[in-house]
Structure 1
C-alpha cells in the first residue's frame, strides 16, 4: 500500500477541498470506481448506495457545515459529482448491513504516572481496495492542527490534534445499523479531531449527533500531567463509554464490549475479532513499551499472532481482508507513526512519523 502525504494551507474549507480534489483527482476517481464495484459485490445497487449517501449528506450539512463545504470543494476540484464524494464518505454506512468486516485491532496503555498514553492499532481492509491512502496535515476551522490517516474520499480516520487528543478507529456492527440517517462515522472522527481536546469533549460530540452505522472510537488524551483514554462505542442504538484503567492496557477489536450494545451485535460472517482481542489482552504488557516502533515490533514478534491478518485466496474478492497499516499515536508530540504493513512485517518496512507541527518531520524512516 502506498501512503501519500498532504499538507493543507490555511484556506477556507471549500478552497482547501478544491485544492485537495484537484491534486488527487485520479485517486478519488479510482476510489469511487472501486467502491461502486464493492457495493455491487456486496449486494448493494448503485442507486441504493447513493440513497444512503444522500441521507448522510443532509445530516452532515446540518451538524458540520464546514466539512460539507470541504466536500463541495473536493467535488469541484476533482471533477467528481458531489453525490460521489458523499458516496466515498459514507462507505461504512452503505456497507453497514451487507458486509461486516474483520477490521482493526487496537491496544492502549494508560500509564499511572504523568506520561502520555501509548497506543497501537492495525488497520485491516480489503486486499484489493485502498492501496493508495493519504496522511493529511490540516488546519481545522476551529484552529486546531490535525494529522489524520484516511482513505481517499474520507475526511479522517486515525489521527491526532495539537490539543493533546488522538483517536483510533475500529468498525463494529449492530442490528440497528442502517435504521436511520446519520453522520458518517468518518465524519464524526473528523469532528472530534477538529473540535475536542479532552475525552469528555469527544464523548459529548459522539452523543450529540445521530448515527447510521457503528464503530468504536478509542480516544486518548494528555494534558501534560494526566493521561486518559476511553473506548467510545457508537451505534444508532446509542453510545457507550468504557474508560481505560490507569496503569493497565485497554483492548478493542470488532465486537461490542458494552453489555447493552453487545446484545444487538450483528455478525453473519466468520470473524477473528475474539482471537485478536485475546491475543492483545494476553500480550497487554507490550503496550507499555515507550518507543512506538519498538512497541509495534514487540507485538509483531508474537508467534502466529492473528492481529497480522493475511488475505485468504479461497475467499471471494470482497471477503479478502489483510492488515494494511500498523499505526501509533503520540498525543504529547501531536504525531502519528506508522508502517504500511502488518505488525509481523514492521521490521522490514519503513517506519514513518508525521507531526502536526513540522512538515520536515514527515516521511522520515528510522
Structure 2
C-alpha cells in the first residue's frame, strides 16, 4: 500500500488518507507540537479527546534529553509517552540552525554547542536518521538547512544544494521500506526557480512524501503565498504535501485551498498559554478586563470540554492568577478548534462545498473586535 491515498478534490484542495504503522491519518490534518515528548498542558488522553490524529516530536531536543538511546531502550517514543497514534519527527535541522554562533556548518553536517550543558554535539544526516529510527517515528524528516530569510539567490542556491546532498544521504541511511515514511523537504527561499530545482532534485531521489520548508521564518504573508502558488501545482499528486511551521487558522484554510495536506505549528498551544483563544469569531485575549464578568463560553459554536463547562470569566480568573488549569483549558479549546476546523475542511472537500465554507469562516474571523 502506498503512503498516501487521494480520495477527493475540490479545486486544488485535496482530501486524502496517509497510511502509517500506527494507523491512518485523514487529511488535510493539523499536527500539534510535542517537542519534548509531550504537548504542553495536554495529557495523551486529552489529545485524543479533542481529535488529535498525529503529533510532532522534536529530534533535536529528544536527542539531548533524555537521549534517543534511552527512548529506544524504553520501547520507542510511542510507548515512552503513551501515545498510540502516529508520530512525525522533524530532523533537528531547524533547531540547530537557529543556534546561530553556537553551531558550525560543513559538508558533513553540523557541530553545535548543546544548549543543555555546552557540550560539542555533531549532527549529520546519518545521525538524524539514526535518532529518528531510535525514536520509532512513523514519519521521518530529512536533515536539511533551513534557508535563512532574507537570502539572496546565491545564498539560497548554496543552501538548497547542500540540503539536496544531505537529502540523498538521508535516503541511503533510511531506505524505502523502513519502519517509517521518509519525507523530503523543499528549500530555495523566496525564489521560485530554486524551489522548482529543489523539488526536482528530491523527486529524483524519491521520497514517500514532500514537505515545504523555509516558510513562516519572517517573510510576509504575500511572499509565502507566492511561493505556495508557484510550488504546489508542481508537487507530486500521489504523495502527501506538508507545509512546515504554519500557522494561523487563516493560514491553514489558505494552504488547504492551494493543495496542502499537513500542517504543524506551536501557535494554538503557545498562544493558549499566553491567554489567546482561537474561535469562530476570530481571536480573543482572555486576560482583557472585558471578560472578567462574562458568563459565556469562549466560542458558542464549540462543543469542547472547556466551552461546555467553563465561562470566560472563570478562564479570565485562572489566567490572572497564573493557574496551570488555565493553560490546560485554553490549550484544550484551541486544539479542539483547530482539529474541528480541519474536520470541516475535509468534509467540505468531499461534498464540493469548500468555497462556501471558506467564505463563512472568513466572515466569522473578521467579525470580532479583538483581531490577533
Bigger proportion of residues as strand? 1
The structure with the larger Rg is 2
Q: Same fold (TM over 0.5)?
A: no
Q: When the two structures are superposed, what TM-score results if normalisation uses the length of structure 2?
A: 0.31
